[in-house]
Amino acid sequence: MPDPGTEQDCLFCRIVSGEIPTSIVASNASAIAFPDIAPQAPLHVLVVPRRHAPDVAALAAEAPTVLADLVALAREVAETEADGQFRLIFNTGARSGQSVFHVHAHVLGNADLGWTPA
């Protein structure tokens, strides 16, 4: 029987459960971090909560402590991999660029990042 905090057909739930293997960059009790398969910067890591929530707003409403743990893990990745300098991005909704509807943060770093929001 699946964990009630997961969605059976969710790509990131399957990665969190170990069904789909990946290289884990870092983890804590609430989240895991792994490399993006299509990096947009020298450092591009996804930080994903272990529990399923469709987007960052839903996670903030349902489990604010999990969101805080996710951000703490993003900071840990940036401290280790990018001297603490990073951009943290959450896309919410298809028009904003969200393609996997399990909340995830993009940690970008190790470059002089310009500002191109659209």
CATH of 24-49+63-109, one of 3.30.428.10, 3.40.50.1460, 3.30.230.10, 3.30.460.80: 3.30.428.10
| pLDDT for position 118 | 52
Other residues' Cβ atoms within 10 Å of the Cβ of residue 104: 25
Identify the pLDDT of residue 66.
98
Q: Which residue has the tokens 């990946």?
A: 22
Q: Where are the chain's structural domains?
A: 24-49+63-109
User: Between the CA of residue 90 and those of 19, 28, 56, 59, 96, what are the distances in Å?
Assistant: 24, 19, 7, 12, 9
> Left, alpha or beta for 117 (phi > 0: left; psi -120 to 50: alpha)?
alpha
pLDDT score recorded for residue 2: 43
Give the pLDDT band of residue 115 (cuts 50, 70, 90): confident
Please confirm, yes or no, whether 104 is among the known catalytic residues: yes
Helical ranges in 1-118 per DSSP H: 11-17, 56-62, 64-82
Q: What's the pLDDT score for residue 1?
A: 35
User: Residues 54-90: pLDDT tens digits?
Assistant: 999 999 999 999 999 999 999 999 999 999 999 999 9
The catalytic position among 44, 102, 104, 106 is: 104
